Amino acid sequence: MTATTASCILAKLAATGDAYAKGQPGARESLIALSRELIANLELSSEFLQRSFWAEPAMCASIRLAVDLDIFGLLREAGAEGVLPDVLAEKVGMQASLLKRLMRHLVAMHVLELADGKLRANSLSNGLAMQDYQRSIMFCFDVSRPSLNSFPSYFKEMKYQEPALSKIDGPFNKAFGSPLPFFDWLNANPPNLQHFASFMACYRDGKPNWFESGFYPVQERLIAGFDPSIGEALVVDVGGGRGHDMVMFAARYHDHPGNIILQDQDVVIGEIESKDAQPFTAIAHDFYKPQPVMGARAYSLHSILHDWDDDHAAKILENLKPALKPGYSRVLLNEIVVSEDEPALAATAMDMMILGHLNVCERTEAHWRTIIEGVGLRVINIYRYPGSAESLIEAELAL
């Protein structure tokens, strides 16, 4: 790397830092991307190997171990006072010398802090101490890593071709020796489905929601023109998990007209606490069957179609069509739209994850248009938000 290149990146970092201080959307994500670019240009090949193949895998393994022993929770409870490593080791039943080595590495990786001989939590570790993040760590380490680690041997056996669309012969199946598709395996091997649901909730944490100001114009495109004589539902969240999106949607548009409907599998709907107190009506629905809620203003699918190959994605959209009112109902696809020129890390990382688990891919704009138009819908617009890998594709019945 030349000094000129370093100077250019540092200048961009300074300018983006000013934008971040002013609260400009996308500035935080740009700072992270520029920081990664600076590291990539400064790092020697030997340092890259040490970080990528030693430090980061060891960090992940130590974090997974910390989940089993609730180390992050104990450090959060200790607060600013912190805990002596020997005391923490006695609490969790670990040899003190081993705990010191593992936690020392997490300190070096900035997951924890160490001062005056005491281990202390920080904002990152306190976040990881939350239940959904604890479950997410279990899912990522126990399920995702084995699938990704099987890439070299799997693709060698496949003569370096993409997996078939059968969903029963991919990297995930090789890693776990199972003939079951990913979601069937999750259902058959509890508590992995619950861990995956937590992961999806955490995956969305901190990301801009499609209904935020500056993303998709909800007031103009949904609320204005709502007609209860066509259908009582304002939004139907298809495959909406435990209602994360709809809780925030209802809070933001608390005086919205119409009803909010949440749909997902029986087991997911069953996990929703205090259903009567929720701002939505939760019903079990299989999106491979015809949509039962007719004439809604909008049918929202957040990160649903990317889990499926083109044929299955088309089938899901086909099942919405009979419920759509021409010129009125919207289909809102909150999905990654991959840039072919400047791919974002968030987009490519998710592409690798679904390649490993589901034998599918994230799609470019041209790919999305082919699927949507192929089922008799038309793309009205694609809305994007600074710093977000996800976009909002708005479609309706083609006339």
Query: What does the alpha-carbon distance between residue 336 and residue 305 come to, in Å, rounded to a whole number?
Result: 10
Three-class secondary structure of residue 84 per DSSP: coil
Is residue 140 scored above 60 in pLDDT?
A: yes
Q: Which residues are catalytic?
A: 306
Query: What does the alpha-carbon distance between residue 144 and residue 356 come to, in Å, rounded to a whole number?
Result: 8
- Angle among Cα 194, 199, 202 to the nearest 5 degrees reads 130
Helix 131-139 / helix 192-204 crossing angle, nearest 10 deg: 110
Please state, for a pLDDT cut of 70, what percent of the chain lies above it: 98
Query: What does the alpha-carbon distance between residue 210 and residue 298 come to, in Å, rounded to a whole number?
Result: 13
Helix 131-139 / helix 56-69 crossing angle, nearest 10 deg: 130
Sequence-distant (6+) residues with CB within 8 A of 379 are 368, 369, 372, 373, 393, 394, 395
Pairing of strands 390-397, 377-383: antiparallel
Look up the pTM and report it. Answer: 0.88
Which residues partner with 377 through β-bridges?
397
Start-end ranges of CATH 3.40.50.150 in the chain?
Answer: 218-397
Q: How far apart are the first and last CA of the chain?
A: 55
Long-range Cβ contact pairs of 378-386 (< 8 A, separation 24 or more): 380/330, 382/337, 383/210, 383/215, 383/216, 384/337, 385/25, 385/26, 385/208, 385/212, 385/214, 385/215, 386/24, 386/25, 386/26, 386/27, 386/29
**DSSP symbol at 159:** T
Is residue 287 scored above 80 in pLDDT?
A: yes
Q: At 124, list the tokens.
A: 């990152």
**DSSP symbol at 225:** T
User: What is the per-residue pLDDT for 300?
Assistant: 98
Start-end ranges of CATH 1.10.10.10 in the chain?
Answer: 3-128
Is residue 380 scored above 60 in pLDDT?
A: yes
Pairing of strands 233-238, 390-397: unpaired
369-385 mean pLDDT: 97
State which CATH number among 3.40.50.10240, 1.20.1250.20, 1.10.10.10, 2.130.10.10 fits the domain covering 3-128: 1.10.10.10
Q: How is domain 218-397 classified at the architecture level of CATH? A: 3-Layer(aba) Sandwich (3.40)
pLDDT digits (tens, 9 = 90+) for 185-206: 999 999 999 999 899 889 888 8
Phi then psi dihedrals of residue 117, to 5 deg: 80, 5
Query: What does the alpha-carbon distance between residue 239 and residue 287 come to, in Å, rounded to a whole number?
Result: 7
User: What is the per-residue pLDDT for 167?
Assistant: 64
